[in-house]
Amino acid sequence: MLHLILFLIFSAICVGGAISLLAQKHPINSALSLIVVMASLAMLYLLLGAEFVAAVQVIIYAGAIMVLFVFVIMLLNAGAEERHGTSRVALMFGVPGLLIGLVAVAWVLLRRNVSAGQVMIGALHGSAKDIGRLLFRDFLLPFEVTSVLILIAIMGAVVLARRGGE
């Protein structure tokens, strides 16, 4: 019961943040909404028993990546987004299409509810120890490839952001 109440609270915050991200005109407000979404998602991960992922979500997403975003927004001095008339076709087909899609997904998930089963609280031990054991034993090669990816990303960012490009 407590699990359900906590899920409802944090999913409501999550949905509100996502809608706020769409509704805001200024990018800095969108960034703050996205931070709210990520923090509440971290709480949902915690509810699902994924402690390590929840911590990493707060540190990497809500911390590092969003700080990068806010920094770039302030650096570029980005103003409010100018709106020149929403497309009528998009409104006519997009909003009903989105609603129909969501209802269809809900319908399919409800139909399969019998086999989908229940999510137990604290059923799984997603601690840093378990994840680390798996990461350094079964997923060692992808983990090492990840470090190469990060290195390439750093070099690419430095080359792209260098002034002039001489």
Partner 1 sequence: MIPLWYYLLLSAFLFACGVAGFLIKRNIITIFMSIELMLNAVNLSFIAFATQWDSLNGQVFVFFVMVVAAAEAAVGLAIIISVFRTRETLNVDRVNLLKL
Nearer to partner 1 by C-beta: 92 or 98? Answer: 98
Nearer to partner 1 by C-beta: 68 or 92? Answer: 68
| Gap between the Cα atoms of 75 and 68, Å rounded | 10
| Gap between the Cα atoms of 157 and 150, Å rounded | 10
Instruction: Pick one of 50, 96, 144, 166: the residue that binds partner 1 (CB under 8 A).
Output: 50
| Contact flags string 107-126 toward partner 1, x per CB under 8 A | --xx-xx--xxxxxx-xx-x
| Contact flags string 8-47 toward partner 1, x per CB under 8 A | ---x--xx--xx-xx----x--xx--x--xx--x--xx--
* Short-list 70, 38, 31, 30, CA closest to 57: 38
User: CA dihedral defined by 136, 139, 141, 144, rounded to 10 degrees?
Assistant: -60
Q: Tell whether residue 96 is a contact of partner 1 (CB under 8 A).
A: no
| Gap between the Cα atoms of 17 and 130, Å rounded | 32
CB of 149 to partner 1, least distance (A): 6
CB of 72 to partner 1, least distance (A): 5
Are 45 and 53 spatial neighbours (Cβ–Cβ below 8 Å)? yes
Instruction: Pick one of 73, 100, 141, 166: the residue that binds partner 1 (CB under 8 A).
Output: 73
| Gap between the Cα atoms of 39 and 58, Å rounded | 6
